[in-house]
Amino acid sequence: MQSITTFNSDLRYIFLPIFLKTKDNVSYEFEAILDTGAPLTEFSDEALQFMGLLNYKKENVQLKPGFQTQKYDKVVIPEIQICSQIVENLPVYVSHFEKSWGIKALIGLDFFRRFEVLINYKLGQIITQPL
């Protein structure tokens, strides 16, 4: 089914609300950035630990110069909704996020591979539909 999601095209990045469910059917909402340069979706270790999807949070993770995240593990999100499209059992990177960034996730190319995605900056819309 086709879906239209709006975003603020005046901002530097495309910010989106995303909705998740854990295997215990607990729902969460987070702010994410749509990142066409990320191969896989990434979640902050802080958010994954908060949701109970990460048993440990690696301390003292050093961000590489020029980067705002540092990947160090993978977990599977039981259910995630991005642009009104539901994906089950999505493997995501566990990352340490720079706190000043203010987000909990990057939506990567794994999302684009599952859906037809049209980004219209002039209208501030993302149109998605399953392939």
Q: Which own/partner contact pairs does 23-28 have at CB distance under 8 Å and 24+ positions apart?
A: 23/78, 24/52, 26/51, 26/52
**Hey, where are the domains in the chain?**
12-115
Please name the residue that has the structure tokens 């003292």.
60
Considering only CA atoms, which of 105, 55, 97, 98 is closest in space to residue 80? Answer: 105
pLDDT digits (tens, 9 = 90+) for 100-119: 777 899 999 998 899 999 99
Residue 50, classified by CB atoms within 10 Å of its CB into exposed (0-12), middle (13-18) or buried (19+), is: middle
pLDDT at 68: 60
CATH homologous superfamily of 12-115: Acid Proteases (2.40.70.10)
pLDDT digits (tens, 9 = 90+) for 39-74: 899 999 889 988 999 887 667 766 565 556 677 789
